[in-house]
Structure 1
Amino acid sequence: MTVGISDLTGKVAVVTGGAAGIGYAIASSLIARGAEVTIADVERSALESASSALGVAGVVTDVSSAEEVRALADCVVNRHGRIDIAVNNAGVAKIAPFDQLTLDDFRWMIDVNLWGVINGMNVFLPIIESTSTHGYVVNTASIAGVRTGPSLAAYGVTKFGVVALTETVSDELAHRDSHVGVGVLVPAMVRSNIANSERNRPGANPTRTGPMQPAGILAAEVVGEIVADSIEHGDLYIVTHPDSLASVRARHRRIEDAFVDAGRRLAR
């Protein structure tokens, strides 16, 4: 079942991680299509600059805290009376081999990337279902949520979880014929500041390394438009890098081959 919002004019949206990068671009695209947007971010100074530039309200929010996400939702509902669109976009990354990751690294990424989305779904989804006539939730995962790769152990764990959560809730919403749709964003390399995620890590005092910006990296503004299109169309999978398909197929092929091999062994 496809559930989208064909006209975003006047729709009430909230975007977490909205002060920069993909979140900022999504907020900008929604605003350009007539939506009333509130952005949230954990970094106060960046949030103030972004909210001023976009001309929208900004709410300081740590998405790893269910209480802060609830306060964010209350703020939006108090202002607008409803929520139609929620974009659970806030995320962090530490890209390193498994043997160089600490348990605290895992906890930090799981708290923000996975619990942040769980908190958002837990808070926003029932509000959207009860206050909106047509609603949508976008969860930002990554291409690392549908394929694996070196140095993506912790990051990939969180993003696979976001994909699984979104797929499952999509099935459940369809089963009850809900007027709310969900989609999962699975981008590859996008111009953003995620490489400097540890600037906002509790207790950390990191040195800025500069954003990851290899040749051919996709502009966040392009992703923002893709997400806005997908909300209108009701896409479950929001794909930004079609050239990544071969690597996803390779993973799926390995899984399929394992099932075929298992059948052969059982048939002996």
Structure 2
Amino acid sequence: MAGKIAVVTGGAAGIGFAIAAELMDRGVIVVIADVEEEALTAAAAALGATGVVADVTKVEDLVHLADEVIRLHGRLDIAVNNAGVARIAPFDELTIDDFRWVLDVNLWGVVLGMKVFLPLIESTSQCGYIVNTASIAGMRSAPKLAAYAVSKFGVVALTETVEQELSARASQVGLGVLVPAMVQSNIAASERNRPGVRRVPVADGSNGAGAQVGAMEAHEVGVIVADAIERGDLYIVTHPESLDSIKARHRRIEDAFEQAVLRSAPTL
């Protein structure tokens, strides 16, 4: 992995910062991007990395980010589409604007990142990899996560689909989808970056470490992701204790299909 060139969106704090730090510890040259300029400047200084301001909902920002990576390093090997936001509320309290905002960042941000970074990696890297950050909420539903889960299920589906397409054409680029449960981050305060909302700077030195009790430390996620990139994993699992909830969802789906098979069987 040493010597590879990587870009990490949402890299100023939390999971993105941790992934960038771990990749750099393994000799990767990293460019981080974030919509929060002040936090980005501090994070880039702490990492000793290049920082580029970018809003992942704007394709022109991502094109500029890609252009900067090529200008500085001549190629791109690894892209981590990590920027994300959350709006946690019951469905009947979520507005149409809530859904649009969450989907714009969490799903469209990944779609646009894939559109910009994938062809660049295929054309400039001998062996590349893309990580798309989803969530355990992209593999099983839970109350108050309607907008968030829709966006994260979409990221999982996008990654699975494109991974099959890349495999079919023997691409040298691998794909992985990160599906964490609770992680120390600032995502609970992500409305500070919502259009029309006054931004509140992240406290110096926080690097996204929130106060979620029992949540995994972000640096642990960084190690898991870097290991997964080296192995070429499709599903990047950070919380194996979530397996039972995944199995429960799959059992309900399987039961529905089995019942449909029984109903469709000819009667004597």
TM-score class normalised by the smaller sequence: over 0.9
The yes-or-no answer on 1:102 pairing with 2:70 is no
Where 1:14 maps in the other structure, the secondary structure is strand
Q: Which amino acid aligns with 1:262?
A: A
Deviation, 1:215, is 3.0
In structure 2, the residue matched to 1:68 is 61
Where 1:96 maps in the other structure, the secondary structure is coil
In structure 1, the residue matched to 2:51 is 58
Structure 1 spans left out of the alignment, 5+ residues: 1-7
The yes-or-no answer on 1:44 pairing with 2:37 is yes
Quick one: which of 230, 233, 242 aligns to 1:232?
A: 230
TM-score normalised by L of structure 1: 0.95
- Deviation string for 1:5-25 (max 9, x for gaps)? xxx100000000000000000
Where 1:38 maps in the other structure, the secondary structure is strand
In structure 2, the residue matched to 1:141 is 134
Quick one: which of 173, 183, 196 aligns to 2:176?
A: 183
Structure 2 spans left out of the alignment, 5+ residues: 202-207
In structure 2, the residue matched to 1:4 is none
State how far apart, in whole Å, the 1-side matches of 2:250 and 2:105 are. 28
State how far apart, in whole Å, the 1-side matches of 2:245 and 2:212 are. 19
In structure 2, the residue matched to 1:204 is 197
In structure 2, the residue matched to 1:93 is 86
State how far apart, in whole Å, the 1-side matches of 2:45 and 2:200 are. 27
State how far apart, in whole Å, the 2-side matches of 1:65 and 1:255 are. 37
State how far apart, in whole Å, the 2-side matches of 1:176 and 1:206 are. 44
In structure 1, the residue matched to 2:22 is 29
- For the aligned residue pairs, the C-alpha RMSD in angstroms reads 1.4
Deviation, 1:206, is 7.8
Where 1:9 maps in the other structure, the secondary structure is coil
In structure 2, the residue matched to 1:14 is 7
Where 1:39 maps in the other structure, the secondary structure is strand
**Structure 2 contact 7–33 (Cα < 8 Å) conserved:** yes
Deviation, 1:168, is 0.5
Q: Which amino acid aligns with 1:95?
A: I
Where 1:93 maps in the other structure, the secondary structure is coil
**Structure 2 contact 44–50 (Cα < 8 Å) conserved:** yes
The yes-or-no answer on 1:247 pairing with 2:245 is yes
In structure 2, the residue matched to 1:259 is 257
**Structure 1 contact 196–211 (Cα < 8 Å) conserved:** no
Deviation, 1:200, is 0.6
Q: Which amino acid aligns with 1:10?
A: G
Deviation, 1:207, is 8.4
Equivalence map 1:209-220=2 (5 Å): 213-220=211-218
Where 1:86 maps in the other structure, the secondary structure is strand
Q: Which amino acid aligns with 1:253?
A: R
Deviation, 1:204, is 1.8
In structure 2, the residue matched to 1:167 is 160
State how far apart, in whole Å, the 1-side matches of 2:198 and 2:175 are. 36
TM-score normalised by L of structure 2: 0.95
Deviation, 1:214, is 3.8
State how far apart, in whole Å, the 1-side matches of 2:219 and 2:28 are. 17
Change (3 A) 1:106 1:146: same
Query: What count of residue pairs does the alignment treat as equivalent?
Result: 260
State how far apart, in whole Å, the 1-side matches of 2:198 and 2:166 are. 42
